[in-house]
Amino acid sequence: MSEEYQSCLVSRLSRFVTLTDHERAFIAQMEKDEHPRNKGRPVVSVGDRTEGIMVLKTGWAVVKADSSDGRSQILRVYLPGEVMGLAEIGSSRASHRIMMQTDGVICPFPRGGLAPLYSEYPRLGALLTAVGSLDQIALRHHASSLGSMDASGKLRFWLLQLRSRLEVANVGLGNRFQVPFSQVEIGQAVGLTSIYVNKLLRRFVENGDIEIERPYVRLLKRDEWEKDCEFVNAFVDMDTSWFPPAIGAKATSSADLAKPV
Q: What is the pLDDT of residues 46-102, one digit of tens each?
A: 999 988 999 999 999 999 998 777 788 999 999 999 999 888 888 889 988 999 999
135 lies in a domain? yes
In degrees rounded to 5, what are phi and psi of residue 17?
Answer: -140, 160
pLDDT of 159 over the 60 cut: yes
pLDDT of 251 over the 70 cut: no
User: Residues of the chain with pLDDT > 90: what percent?
Assistant: 78
For residue 159, the domain's CATH number is: 2.60.120.10
54 lies in a domain? yes
3 lies in a domain? no
2 lies in a domain? no
pLDDT of 215 over the 90 cut: yes
124 lies in a domain? yes
User: Residues of the chain with pLDDT > 70: what percent?
Assistant: 91
How many Cβ atoms are within 10 Å of 177's Cβ, its own excluded?
Answer: 20
Q: CA triplet 94, 51, 111: central angle to 5 degrees?
A: 125
Q: What is the pLDDT of residues 105-130, one digit of tens each?
A: 999 999 999 999 989 999 999 999 99
| Least confident interval from 16-25, 120-129, 163-172, 229-238 | 163-172
167 lies in a domain? yes
- Provide the domain limits for residue 98: 8-245
Domain count, the chain: 1
Q: Compute the average pLDDT of residues 196-202.
A: 98
Q: Spell 158-173 as b/e; 16+ CB within 10 A means b.
A: bbbbbbbbbbbbebbe
The pLDDT of residue 207: 98
203 lies in a domain? yes
Q: Are the beta carbons of 102 and 58 closer than 8 angstroms? A: no
pLDDT of 41 over the 70 cut: yes
199 lies in a domain? yes
